[in-house]
Amino acid sequence: MTPPRSTHSRLPIRVEISRDFEDIAPIFLENRRKDLKTLHAAIGAQDFSTLQTLGHRMKGDGGGYGFDAISEIGATLESAAQRQDIPPIEHGIAELEDFLDRVTVFYR
């Protein structure tokens, strides 16, 4: 279970990315929201292969779109799935959900 979030943690997360990604960034973020459903199902089934694959994909793709936090979360998920270590996986899923809830994208 995720600990209660403080007021400070509910502040928007500002991410500034290249205007070149203006058309595809919303799609990328929507796909990560879809991944949350898959991640929740995979952790429930202890499907470490799926968790590792999604973590690896996020690790590789996040920074390329300007979302370094997603890359970091993906790296955590991938590593924890390799070790079959459930608590950091659950924490990573909660972090991704929190990030997606709070991210505000600005284009430069």
CA–CA separation, 25 vs 46, rounded Å?
30
Nearest to 35 by CA among 97, 103, 83, 82: 97
Q: Which amino acid is at 50?
A: T
Which tens digit of pLDDT belongs to each residue from 53-100?
Answer: 999 999 999 999 999 999 999 999 999 999 999 999 999 999 999 999
Domain boundaries, the chain: 36-107
Predicted TM-score (pTM) of the model is: 0.89
Please name the residue that has the structure tokens 């919303």: 26
Contact 36, 95 (CB under 8 A): no
Alpha carbon distances (Å) from 46 to 1, 28, 56, 105: 16, 26, 17, 33
Percent of the chain with pLDDT over 90: 91
Which tens digit of pLDDT belongs to each residue from 3-20?
Answer: 444 445 689 999 999 999
